[in-house]
A = this chain, B = another copy of it.
Amino acid sequence: MPLSLPPLMTYCLGIITSSGFVMAADSRTNAGVDYISTYRKLFDFSNPGERVILLSTAGNLSITQGIISTLEKDLKFHDNQNLHNLESMYDVARYVGGQLRRMQEFDEAWLKKHSIDASCTLLLAGQIKGQDPALFLIYNQGNFIHATKDTPFLQIGETKYGKPILDRTLSFNTQLEAAAKCALLSIDSTMKSNISVGPPINLAMYERDTFVIDNWLRLRLGDPYLAKIRKMWEDSLKQAFEHIPNINWQHREEQSSEDILID
């Protein structure tokens, strides 16, 4: 795997809508090639009533844990600059990107020596009182982009399997509850198609201007609710599939088979 790409053994996504945001993450991690395990990848750094901040992580576990630990340490010991006193979500993203860079400075050269991928990516969602909610994707280089009305979701890790359902059902004006459902189905699709993404699933839904994460869910492997949602979605998909008519092979253009299939 090239060092410039984040490893794909995880899947997190964030969705921002006109009425709030949703964050979701699986929990499968490989900390070294022979140590595949379960680690939380969605973290709540809110200061209820004043600001909510959710962070999810993909990539090298020692780097992402290091970042989370540093953020926690700053909250406890450093009043000059931390997640609870930065004045805007832009500043928070800049600060988190800076901590990511620091962690890479500590460890990247040593990991590269042994061809270990040190890269990671982060999703950051939050709202500070008096400001709009915002959702960021922080790259391995510490720079970042934010979601917009045109592109209301951001993904990190193994993003492709779960993208079609987002492309087909989501917009900035989607109801928040529907966005949460969409996030769950996007992760479920990914788990179904890629064994390296796995439960528990952590899911959080935030309603704009409430300044508290009221809706959260953790779905373990074998959770009957998760199994039920998956079964319903599969049955609905199958019905949708059956509802599409078979291909009309007579719908040919004027070419012969030879023109069509051989250049």
Contacts and interface: CB of A to CB of B under 8 A. Distances in A.
A27 B23 CA distance: 36
A167 B161 CA distance: 11
Interface in A197-233: 202-205, 213-218, 220, 225, 229, 232-233
Contacts of A164: 161-162, 164-165, 189, 192-193
Interface stretch (A80-88, A137-145, A239-247): A239-247
Nearest to A23: B261
A258 to B, nearest CB: 8
Kindly state the interface size class of chain A when it binds its partner. Answer: 35 or more
A193 B238 CA distance: 21
A248 B217 CA distance: 9
A160 interface: yes
A33 interface: no
Contacts of A178: 241, 246
Contacts of A123: none
Contacts of A181: 241, 244, 246-247
Contact of A229 (B203, B220, B229, B244): B244
B244 A236 contact: yes
A117 to B, nearest CB: 12
Nearest to A41: B263
B168 A192 contact: yes
Contacts of A255: 218
Interface in A42-70: 42-44, 54
A185 B247 contact: no
Given A40-B261, A160-B193, 11 more contacts: A2-B2, A161-B161, A164-B193, A168-B192, A169-B241, A177-B247, A181-B244, A181-B247, A184-B247, A218-B252, A232-B245
